[in-house]
Structure 1
Amino acid sequence: MRAGIRVHASCLTVLLLAGTAAGCGKEETAPRDKGAAEPVKLVLASHLPINDEFNKLYIEPVRAKYPNITLEVISGNQLEQWDQYIASGQIPDMFITFNGNLPPLAERGVIEDMTPQFQSRKLDTGRFLDNYLNDIRYAVTEKGELYGLPIETTFHALYYNKNIFDKFGVAYPKDGMTWEETIAIAQKVTRQENDVQYRGLDITNVPRLAQPLGLEYVDRKTEKAIVNTDTWKRVFELGKQVYTIPGNAPSANAELNGQKGFLKSQTVAMLSDINLFSQLTEAEKSGLNWDVVQHPYYKEQPNVFGNASVYVVGATKSSKHKEQALQVMEVMTSNEVQMNVSRLGRVSPLKSPDIQKAFGQDNPLLKGKNTAGIVKSHPVKYPVYVYRDLSEKIVRQKFDDFAAGKADVNTLLRQAEEEINKAVQIEQLKKK
């Protein structure tokens, strides 16, 4: 096993190696490739959580079809991990990452445009929904490079705690609400009772409010900040409406905010967030009675939520096993595997109506839940971000200052633009 990898991979690798022989007798997902019998080990760095569900969805089908390929799965959800792999000269053969991570991986020289390889193999990219392919093609440049294939994507939804609504006799949220309608409901369920503060709505963070409008922080071509605008002003003002509902401001105790406030303390009535299914089972055991509706939207952008993180599987530029990596990619994006992805309540990027309709059907957690509401919306076109991390940090702080009444919105957005430009200049100097 490679240096620096054993800690991440040991448990799963043992499972995979132990199950290789057992996997040979399973039904195959596609015809075998001739001449592919030589034993090969591929190291796959995954941004997705490495757990039993991941193993059953993606790893076991590969082993069943190609018993000669051993996948050693390691963690790849932090850029620092990639830097460690690069520095040690132990770059993985494959990756699963989300499209927002493609630019820094491209900067590090880890990935490459795989379009020629797909064409040579006659791989049908027409099976995928165009918006998800484009979220990969235009993540790094405007030239349309395809660094891999989408295997699943996230969604945004509005989760709600039925117990809180029942406690206060307020009607449940419904599909098709605007942000203004959602805020009006939040006002009704933001209350204090028996020294417990119930918060009506948690938006997670202000960038989440900006996403459906396709807002960016820095212009790619000029590398100048573009946050001092009327649209960003609108986002700030909408966010302030949420957090200035009396009693709805984020708590000083982080355990009462966001996912923790909804899942654990169960004092948040409505939460705007991405896929939480894997965490809701435990929350149900502790009494959470929940359901989900379509994510709120802006009136001029009906049925549009924010950025969908498209998870991409691809081969690294330095891999010596491109042919086998392509075989793995074909299995993971096959109709059979993607049907299972959808049935478990993960969003498949394939066009197939049958696969899309199967969403959540095999997940007992979702029985009787309004999963149809989730798929009524679609993601915005993923913006092309540059200097995103440093910009978001500044914008979040300025919004917090605005929500706290420290300054007016125009002043704070002007300050944000100035601070982002200074931070970008520092980063530019580092690259010289």
Structure 2
Amino acid sequence: MKRCWPLPPALVLLALCVSCSPSPGAANQPEGKGGEDAPPSPVTLTLYMQSAFPIQNQIMDIIHNKYPHITIKPLLREKGQMPEDLLAAGTFPDIIYASTPWYTDYLDLKVLLDLNELAKLKGLDVGKLDPLAIDAIKMWGEKGELYALPIYRNFAVTYYNKDLFDKFGVPYPKDGMTWKQAIDIAKTMTRKEDNVEYKGLDASESYSAVSALSTPFVRPDGKANLLHERFALALQNLKEIYGIPGNRPGINVSEFYKGTVAMSVFWNVIASFEEMSKKGTPLNWDMVTTPTYDAAPGKSFQVDSHNLSISAHSKHKEEAFQVIAYLLSKEVQADISKNGYLPSLADPDLEKVFGANLQSLKGKNVSAIFKQQSAPLYKITRYDSIVMGELGKAMNEVLDNQKDVNSALREANERADKAIEQVRKP
């Protein structure tokens, strides 16, 4: 899915935030001789992550400087270090970093701690966190379990290149566009000039196309759900976008960075714009809300949060929760917002300071981020990746004019059902 939202800057941000405030547990440490507090015992917390990030050593140093007794040991999810490998070896990590759709493996292995009790014991008010993010996480629990806490949320907008619109004398896009309106603009902006091909609109891939429609990939009976009318709606929309002569699909926003795409609908990539600005090669861009379907008015891409979980096997559950709870304090959440990430703490004050630390957001239409509500998350199953793969194949068949939308989806649905059945067999 996804949504491989930009893990490196996010983790950097979290680490930086940890260094901002005194330890919430400091007042409860035992006293040493002479009435002075004795230092707490050293603790090593293993942080399990989907992918590496470039300055993890610096991050560990920052956390250690704030909590001298806590050492963060990063561990990557890769061959030989998959969840089942770690569990079998008795070395399962203390903290797991993941976005909301990716918990199937952990739940199958029964390695996630229900955080409800710790939250109540430590006085963490979960009700102050974004309700859509919490609801999405709670969908993983069958009896109200809370297997993770959201540290920040993702968002999607329509990025547009102001220089290209100025070059071709076309008015800038506006907040509140429908997909039809966006496609009309794309038809005007897609052209070849001075031997350079310009694309009007990049709407990413099949998953993002259906994201705002909150449609499950698998039915309650365990069968593929690609025959649902909303998948046809999404695929037809992509066909119209990429059916514009010269407007071929790109890879995320890579071509937008090069200045050859007028509009790109995608998740939060503000960190990339900030990096370009710092290097002295800024892009003249701005943003508006994502185009919407009539079937889902006012809805952007589905809710997606980046979360921290605690292992049920951890010997340091309270210390792990201490770190997570601190990241959810208003002070740290404000820093998260100032650095261009949506905080998970639902507080209007935090919206007001969004991007305050970023030069690249000066004068930008930041309000576009807050004008739409994320679509609710659909019910996720362990078979979703199978169905998503078949949807991607169907999209390619449609865009290559090999099949019509309905035929492509029907055959994809049949393939997905067969693949699901094979997985279910002992």
TM-score class, shorter-chain normalisation, is: 0.7 to 0.9
The one-letter code matched in structure 1 to 2:309 is G
Structure 1 residue 396 and structure 2 residue 392: aligned? yes
Percent identity of paired positions between Structure 1 and Structure 2: 30
Q: 1:184 matched to which residue of 2?
A: 184
Output the CA distance in 1 between the equivalents of 2:321 and 2:185: 49
Task: Say whether the 8 Å CA contact 1:257–1:268 is kept in structure 2.
Answer: no
Structure-to-structure mapping, 1:274-423, within 5 angstroms: 274-284=267-277, 285-286=280-281, 288-386=283-381, 387-423=383-419
Structure-to-structure mapping, 1:257-276, within 5 angstroms: 257-263=251-257, 265-276=258-269
Q: 1:109 matched to which residue of 2?
A: 110
Q: Specify the SS of the correspondent of 2:334.
A: helix
The one-letter code matched in structure 2 to 1:290 is W
- Per-residue displacement from partner, 1:250-278 (whole Å, max 9, x unpaired)? 3xxxxx64321111x32111111111112
Q: Specify the SS of the correspondent of 1:306.
A: strand
Q: Specify the SS of the correspondent of 2:337.
A: helix
- Per the TM alignment, residue 155 of structure 1 is displaced from its structure 2 partner at its CA by 0.2
- Per the TM alignment, residue 27 of structure 1 is displaced from its structure 2 partner at its CA by 4.9
Task: Say whether the 8 Å CA contact 1:154–1:346 is kept in structure 2.
Answer: yes
Deviates more, 1:74-83 or 1:128-137: 74-83
The one-letter code matched in structure 2 to 1:299 is D
Number of equivalences: 399
Decide whether aligned partners of structure 1 residues 195 and 54 sit closer, same or farther in structure 2, where only a CA change above 3 A counts.
farther
Decide whether aligned partners of structure 1 residues 169 and 80 sit closer, same or farther in structure 2, where only a CA change above 3 A counts.
farther
Give ranges in structure 1 of 5+ residues lacking alignment: 1-11, 251-255
Output the CA distance in 1 between the equivalents of 2:57 and 2:161: 28
Task: Say whether the 8 Å CA contact 1:29–1:61 is kept in structure 2.
Answer: no
Q: 2:205 matched to which residue of 1?
A: 205
- Per the TM alignment, residue 187 of structure 1 is displaced from its structure 2 partner at its CA by 0.7
Decide whether aligned partners of structure 1 residues 27 and 248 sit closer, same or farther in structure 2, where only a CA change above 3 A counts.
closer
Q: 2:5 matched to which residue of 1?
A: none
Deviates more, 1:106-115 or 1:358-367: 106-115
Q: Specify the SS of the correspondent of 1:359.
A: coil
Task: Say whether the 8 Å CA contact 1:46–1:96 is kept in structure 2.
Answer: yes
Decide whether aligned partners of structure 1 residues 127 and 49 sit closer, same or farther in structure 2, where only a CA change above 3 A counts.
farther
- Per the TM alignment, residue 119 of structure 1 is displaced from its structure 2 partner at its CA by 2.2
Decide whether aligned partners of structure 1 residues 101 and 63 sit closer, same or farther in structure 2, where only a CA change above 3 A counts.
farther
Output the CA distance in 1 between the equivalents of 2:21 and 2:228: 56
Give ranges in structure 2 of 5+ residues lacking alignment: 1-10, 31-39
Q: 1:170 matched to which residue of 2?
A: 170
Output the CA distance in 2 between the equivalents of 1:353 and 1:43: 34
Structure-to-structure mapping, 1:97-176, within 5 angstroms: 97-138=98-139, 140-176=140-176
Task: Say whether the 8 Å CA contact 1:154–1:310 is kept in structure 2.
Answer: yes
Structure-to-structure mapping, 1:80-91, within 5 angstroms: 81-91=82-92
Output the CA distance in 1 between the equivalents of 2:259 and 2:109: 42
Q: Specify the SS of the correspondent of 2:271.
A: helix
- Per the TM alignment, residue 233 of structure 1 is displaced from its structure 2 partner at its CA by 1.4
Task: Say whether the 8 Å CA contact 2:83–2:105 is kept in structure 1.
Answer: no
- Per the TM alignment, residue 60 of structure 1 is displaced from its structure 2 partner at its CA by 3.8
The one-letter code matched in structure 2 to 1:271 is S
The one-letter code matched in structure 1 to 2:99 is F
Q: Specify the SS of the correspondent of 2:144.
A: coil
- Per the TM alignment, residue 45 of structure 1 is displaced from its structure 2 partner at its CA by 1.6
Output the CA distance in 1 between the equivalents of 2:141 and 2:189: 45
Structure 1 residue 93 and structure 2 residue 110: aligned? no
Task: Say whether the 8 Å CA contact 1:77–1:97 is kept in structure 2.
Answer: no
Output the CA distance in 1 between the equivalents of 2:282 and 2:125: 46
Q: Specify the SS of the correspondent of 1:382.
A: coil
Output the TM-score relative to the length of structure 2. 0.86
Output the TM-score relative to the length of structure 1. 0.85
Output the CA distance in 1 between the equivalents of 2:158 and 2:52: 23
- Per-residue displacement from partner, 1:63-115 (whole Å, max 9, x unpaired)? 52x33222223334999643443354321111121111122221122213221
Deviates more, 1:116-125 or 1:227-236: 116-125
Q: Specify the SS of the correspondent of 2:102.
A: helix
Q: 1:71 matched to which residue of 2?
A: 72
Q: Specify the SS of the correspondent of 1:213.
A: coil
